[in-house]
Amino acid sequence: MLPSDQPQGSVTGSTLPAGLVLADAYSRFAAYLLDGFVLAALTSIPPALLGLYDYSSATYPPPPMPRATFIGTTIFSIAIQAAYFLWFWTAGRRATPGQRVFSIQIGNAFDGQPLTMTQAIIRWLAMGWWLEILVLLPFFGVAVAAYAATGIWFVVIAASIVLSPTKQGIHDRLARSALVRPAGPTNRWAIGCVWAYVAIALFGLLMLALVLYLFNAIDRSTIYPPGMDPVDIFSAQIREFWPY
């Protein structure tokens, strides 16, 4: 672990302390995946305990989730995510739980000091997750654009990390931050996590394409009674969230 009370060397000047190397892309992506699981629990369990996701009904289909609930849970999720990263990136903590699993630490790129809160805020904003706040507008087209922009920007950030000689993504360069880990080969678990995620994501996309094809290819009216078609139920939920 890096001491947090003295300069530790400059990434931009290629003077990293002995025994440290720039954190590789595999380790960084794997850390984000683990943080994603932690955040999924932190953002979904409290609303579930409050009964906000309980839409049990004596009849099928159940009523759509109210738009007010969607707005509240979305704001809650974004706030928890921001607090999570800002807290763990700053002061003497230097790393999120996911980053700690792979011995990654984050600091100022020029002197290795812990990130200031201003740097952490800039870094979080530059990662683009705040774009999801736009899905709260009652316009379906805006919501689709916001989700698409978030995904595309994630790809841009990932590419900027991979292509950077100092492994600094766009968000790192804007915040003047850098990530390091102990010298040595890339963690095999990190490589496995990333490729397992890629495989699962591709499989999920293939299954989604197959389901959409089957739904379009069959006459659903012969299978589902009026009002029971899953496509109609999903459409009703979409209209509840985004009426325009």
Task: Please give the pLDDT value at position 202.
Answer: 95
Nearest to 166 by CA among 7, 2, 13: 13
Element (H, E) at 20: strand 20-22
Task: Please give the pLDDT value at position 235.
Answer: 85
Q: Could you report the per-residue pLDDT of 3-51, keeping only the tens digit for each?
A: 444 445 556 545 777 888 999 999 999 999 999 999 999 999 998 888 7
In the predicted model, residues of the chain with pLDDT beneath 70 are 1-14, 54-60
Task: Please give the pLDDT value at position 54.
Answer: 67
CB atoms under 10 Å from CB of 79, counted, come to 11
- The answer to whether 206 touches 42, Cβ cutoff 8 Å, is no
Task: Please give the pLDDT value at position 58.
Answer: 61
Task: Please give the pLDDT value at position 57.
Answer: 59
Token code pair at residue 22: 């720039």
- The answer to whether 9 touches 15, Cβ cutoff 8 Å, is yes
Task: Please give the pLDDT value at position 234.
Answer: 83
Q: Sheet harboring 20-22: ordered strands across?
A: 20-22, 177-182, 105-108
Task: Please give the pLDDT value at position 7.
Answer: 41
Burial class (CB in 10 A: 0-12, 13-18, 19+), 129: middle
Task: Please give the pLDDT value at position 25.
Answer: 94
Give residue 38's Cα distance to chain centre.
11
pTM of the model: 0.86
Cis peptide leading into residue 66 (ω within 30°) = no
Element (H, E) at 108: strand 105-108
Nearest to 121 by CA among 170, 85, 173, 78: 85
Burial class (CB in 10 A: 0-12, 13-18, 19+), 125: middle
- When computed from its CA atoms, the radius of gyration of the chain, rounded to whole angstroms, is 22
- The answer to whether 17 touches 112, Cβ cutoff 8 Å, is yes
Task: Please give the pLDDT value at position 173.
Answer: 96
Task: Please give the pLDDT value at position 56.
Answer: 59
